């Protein structure tokens, strides 16, 4: 099951997805000063720092991506089988994200939004 999910996810346009996170990271204005509060840099996200920026790519709504088509509260005990499928999918998604140098995050404002995030060091921007 996990392997099937992984091949499905691998088939997405990862080259474009990765490039999109780069474009997003580059669009952040200013490098946060060391020890600065990220809140002072409106374009930045958690993980941006003096050496680089985190770019994100919106993958979609949780219920459109995950096999159950539902979004479960973490404490929900219902639909055990579907939750297991979703967990296998999450593991596959994380593995593919890792392969492409990033990770998966849910939206800060809306936990049902799913993003691929990748950290880009600042230095290559000036090359
Ligand atoms: Zn930033």
Q: Yes or no: say if 26 and 121 are a contact pair by the CB < 8 Å rule.
A: no
Q: Is the pTM of this model over 0.85?
A: yes
CA of 6 to the centre of ligand 1 (A): 29
Q: How far is the CA of 119 from the centre of ligand 1 (A)?
A: 9
Range of the domain at 106: 2-126
Say if residues 94 and 104 touch (Cβ distance below 8 Å).
yes
The Å distance, Cα 23 to ligand 1 centre, comes to: 11
**Domains in the chain, number:** 1
Q: Could you tell me the distance, in angstroms and rounded to a whole number, from the CA of residue 75 to the centre of ligand 1? A: 33
d(CA 67, CA 86): 6
CA 123–ligand 1 middle distance (angstroms):
13
What is the per-residue pLDDT across 17-74, written as a single tens digit (0 to 9) for each?
999 999 999 999 878 888 888 778 888 988 998 889 999 999 999 999 999 998 877 6
Phi, psi of 4 (to 5 degrees): -60, -45
Which pair of tokens denotes residue 38?
A: 């990220």
> What span, in angstroms and rounded, lies between the C-alpha atoms of 6 and 11?
9
């Amino acid at each position: 099951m996990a392997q099937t999910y992984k091949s499905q996810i691998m088939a997405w346009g990862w080259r474009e997805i990765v490039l999109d996170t780069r474009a997003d990271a580059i669009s952040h204005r200013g490098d946060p000063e060391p020890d600065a509060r990220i809140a002072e840099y409106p374009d930045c996200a958690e993980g941006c720092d003096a050496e680089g920026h985190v770019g994100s790519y919106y993958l979609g709504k949780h219920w459109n991506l995950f096999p159950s088509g539902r979004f479960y509260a973490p404490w929900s005990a219902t639909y055990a089988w579907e939750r297991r499928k979703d967990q296998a999918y999450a593991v596959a998604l994380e593995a593919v994200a890792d392969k492409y140098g990033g990770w998966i995050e849910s939206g800060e404002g809306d936990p049902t939004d799913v993003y691929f995030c990748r950290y880009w060091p600042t230095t290559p921007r000036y090359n």
